[in-house]
Every structure is written in C-alpha cells, then in structure tokens.
Structure 1
Amino acid sequence: MVKQQERSRRTREKVLDAAAEEFSAQGYSRATLDAVAQRTGMTKGALYGHFASKQVLAGALLTQSRKVWDELRLARDVPGAEAGEVLEALVLDLACRLKEDVRLRAALRLATDAPDLTPPVPDVFEDVQRGLAGLIRRAQGTGETAARPPELVAQLLLAVMYGAPHVAFESPAGGGPAADEAAWRLLLDALTGGGGRPAHLTDAAPPG
C-alpha cells in the first residue's frame, strides 16, 4: 500500500512537471492533455486517473505556486527586518526561483491567461504583486526608497521577471556580484530610487 502511494505521488509530480512545461510554452488555451500525456509517456486515460481535466491541472499548479510564494515571503519578511532589505531579498529569490522552477513560471503565465477556474484558485500573480507593492510602500515610509507608485513598480518588476528566464545577463566589469544578481539590483535601484536605501544593499557609496 505504501509503495503504491509513493508510485502514485511520483507519477503525480511527473505529470505536474510535464503540464508546467506545456503551459509555460503554449499558454492555457493552446495546451492540451494529449500533449501533457506525450511528455510523460503516459496514455491520456492514465493521466485522467490523476487529473480529471486541464482546468484541474492548472489549478493544482497555481495552488502549489501560491504556497511557494508564501514560503519565500515568510522566510524573508521576519520581525525586525528592514522593508528595503526584505524587498531586495525577495526579488532576488523570485528571480532565481523563476529561472529554475518551471512550475512557478507556468503559474505566472496561467495567472494572466487562464480563464476563471472552478473551483476558484489563488491568483498567484496578484498575490506576488500585492506583496511586493506592500514592501515598497513600507520601504518608502522609512525613507529606504523613493516615493514612486508602489503598484506600478511591482508590476514592472513582475513584467521583467516574466521574461528574464530567457535572458543571459552579462557579468559586470571588474567582478562583483553574479551577473543575475547585479542585473536585478540595478533594476530594483532604478525602479525604487535605491539611493535612499542602506549602503549595504547596493554597491554604490552612500550619498554624501
């Protein structure tokens, strides 16, 4: 019984990975269960034994990715942490996770192009955007970042995150942080007015 449950769990994970690849590449409307089954080497009937429809598959990916976001946020946004520091850490965490985790990439695409699912599932894109905007607003309140529209800054960050996995950033001249990290810090500074943030969060000297 235990072995059967473990086999079922592994098969479910395999299907979720295949579905994530399909949704990430094709979007919700063009993705099909036939294509997901082909990616797993399963028959469509066997796939139905784990997920009854494309809608259920999409919902499972969105629900799981909401948990990923919650875990990332709770790990960084701890009592006493400065909002600007939490914001930078979360942006770097998300950017790294999106590059490595096809399920999260698929969930962000599904959040923007999937129809309303039944039963309703969390809107991951909206949750992440609201969380980032809240951190930006807090950082502005403590003078860590410039007064710019928090929602717009969060939207721009997410828009770049959505496309960033397809870009290979060049390492900065003279060494320093890794290429991806340097690129994200540069973007975050440009969008938030990083000159007001604590010196240890940037490579620049504090304003005189």
Structure 2
Amino acid sequence: MATTSRQEQKATTRAAILRIASDEFDLHGYAATSVARVAENLQMTKGSVYFHFASKALLAAEVVRVSFDVWDPLVRSVDDHALSGLDAVRRLLVDLAQRYTDDASLRAALRLMREESPVRDRLPEALGVWAGVLRRYLDQAVGAGQLRPGTDVDALARHLVALFLGLQEITQRAPTDGSLAEQVEDAWETTLVGLVRTH
C-alpha cells in the first residue's frame, strides 16, 4: 500500500512539474525558461525537479513527447460521433485548433519544436504522427469517393499539417484576424474545394 501511495505521489508531482514547465516554455521559450523558476512556481527545490527530470533538455523533451498524445481524445471524439472521411478530417483539425488555444502544453511543444532548442529535431517525428492520423481518414475519403481520383493522400496529409502550423503561426502574430479554429474553418472552405470530388 505504501509503495502504491509513493508511486501515486511521484506521478502527481511529475505531472505538476510538466504542467508548470509547459506554461513556462509556452510563455518564454526554451532559452528563457529556467528550472529554478519552475521549482519556485511549485514551491519546490531545484533538486526536487531534477529528481524527476535530470536536465531542462529532458524536461522539454517530455513536454514534446506528451504532446503527441493530443490525438487520442480527438480521435475518440470523432469515432464516438461516427464521423469518417472528410467530415472526420475537418472535425479533427478544428478540435485540434481549439485544443491548441486551450492547452498550454500543446502550445509549448510546438514552440519548442520550432525554435532553437535541444528538442527541435523531434519536429519530423511529431509531424509524421500528425500526418499519419489524418491519413487514416483521408484513406476513408478516397474509399468513399469524396476526393478527386488520383489525389495523393500522403502529400495531402502533410499539406494539412503544414497548413495548420502556418495558420497557428499567423494567429499568434495577428490574433485580431480571428481564432485559430475560425482560421482552420476558413482554410477548409477555400483550400480543399479543389480536391473534393463533385458528382
């Protein structure tokens, strides 16, 4: 029983560190974030943080790794609503945009991967995961005859990921142009119209 309690406490502390570190990386980036400030915000010692994460680089890497899990609840929601094909892709991208707006850990992960940091080389891996999720539903769209014949679904999946990241960057720099979810909706209507098969 005591061992289980210690394990639960360790997991709780680790999650709290990741939450605060995500806030710091999101707001300040890798270079300006310090383990000391993370510890101070948690009312812990630096040594306690280093017990869980041996370096700031490892802490940042875990923030990025955990962000890959963002798709699990989004995919479950799509499947629970029995969406498939292009309807599923649209829902995934809009929900991802909302998640980005609400979730500092996802914003932190994307910032860490696009700026100079020890985890920048994780970007191709992350984008591969994202494109793989979208490819699943784009394949359904092909099977359902929703896309024009000859559509390269691999290229389209990568394009949609790049489109999302570009819109995210634009929204960061010009927030008055609307929320990221709104930008994604607009892009869906304008960018993909040429790919959808007409009957």
Shorter-chain TM-score range:
0.7 to 0.9
Which amino acid in structure 2 is aligned with residue 92 of structure 1?
A: V
Give the Cα separation in 2 of the matches to 1:97 and 1:20. 14
Structure 2 equivalent of residue 63 of structure 1: 65
Greater shift, 179-188 or 52-61, is seen at 179-188
Q: TM-score, normalised by structure 2?
A: 0.72
Deviation track 1:32-83 (CA, whole Å, cap 9, x = no partner) reads: 21222222221111111211111221222222111222442355368x8432
Match of 2:184 in 1: 184
Deviation at 1:169, TM superposition (A): 6.6
For residues 190 and 143 of structure 1, the distance between their equivalents in structure 2, rounded to whole angstroms, comes to 20
| Structure holding more helix per residue | 2
* RMSD of aligned alpha carbons: 3.7
1:115 paired residue among 113, 118, 127 = 118
Report the residue type matching 2:186 in the other structure: L
**TM-score, scaled to structure 1:** 0.70
Gaps of 5+ in 1: 171-178, 198-206
Tell me if 1:155 matches 2:162.
yes
Distance 1:108 1:181, change over 3 A: closer
> Match of 1:89?
91
1:12 is matched with which residue: 8, 14, 21? 14
Identity %: 28
Q: How does 1:31-42 map to 2 (within 5 A)?
A: 31-42=33-44
In the other structure, the counterpart of 1:201 is none
Unaligned runs of 5+ in 2: none
- One-letter amino acid of the structure 2 residue matched with residue 156 of structure 1: L
How many angstroms apart in 2 are the aligned matches of 1:126 and 1:39?
34
3-state DSSP class of the match of 2:162? helix
Paired residue type of 1:158: L
The alignment covers a number of residue pairs equal to: 189
